[in-house]
A and B are shown apart, each in its own frame.
Chain A
Amino acid sequence: GEDVEQSLFLSVREGDSSVINCTYTDSSSTYLYWYKQEPGAGLQLLTYIFSNMDMKQDQRLTVLLNKKDKHLSLRIADTQTGDSAIYFCAVLITSGTYKYIFGTGTRLKVLA
């Protein structure tokens, strides 16, 4: 079955780079997404990458996709305390009906 996995926690110091990793099992994933959830709020779409791309950069965010290893990562440059949140990886599978599969989320803690 489809599965999306992430590590549960990550701590970094303010100003350092953060790298949040995600692995998935279904090779028919077409779009891959990163969402951010701040305390008491819903999920906010941060960025996404289409499966025929290797990399996408958007200001401080860099998304890397290794399709062969089914590995997705989100790098946040110059991490700030405001980046502390839970980050969810999600994949869109389009074989048959459309299906979104979310990971468990990675809680990022930025230390001042």
Chain B
Amino acid sequence: ETGVTQTPRHLVMGMTNKKSLKCEQHLGHNAMYWYKQSAKKPLELMFVYSLEERVENNSVPSRFSPECPNSSHLFLHLHTLQPEDSALYLCASSRGSGNEQFFGPGTRLTVL
């Protein structure tokens, strides 16, 4: 039990769909992260929220839109994605942005 849950675990969507990924942490952490994991590539940090404010955005395409309504919940809204966006999307949380991160199981996204 990692204390970080993600739903759905698997998602297949067309390029014109709109969907959202959800992450929830039960660890009392105040920083949350979205990562993209593609085959044979380093983990790519997409967004960081600390104290519910976005502090880092590594120039991710605007078709990915994060939302952090409170310190326990993080969403990633998806809109008109491309097939190359197919990947495992991992959520993580930490106590402060400088401490070790605890990861959720990920959402396996396939864009057709």
Contacts and interface: CB of A to CB of B under 8 A. Distances in A.
Interface stretch (A60-68, A70-78, A92-100): A92-100
Interface residues of B, number: 23
Nearest to B98: A98
B100 A48 contact: yes
* Secondary structure of the A contact surface, majority rule: strand
Interface in B24-75: 40-43, 45, 55-56
Interface of B: 2, 4, 6, 40-43, 45, 55-56, 90-92, 97-98, 100-106, 108
A44 B42 contact: no
A33 B85 CA distance: 27
Contacts of B98: 92, 94, 98
Interface in A22-62: 31, 33, 35, 40-45, 48
Interface residues of A, number: 23
B45 A100 contact: yes
Nearest to B55: A97
Interface of A: 4, 8, 31, 33, 35, 40-45, 48, 88, 92, 94, 97-98, 100-105
Contacts of B91: 42
Given A48-B100, A97-B55, A42 B43 contact: no
B104 A4 contact: no
Nearest to A48: B100
A44 B102 CA distance: 7
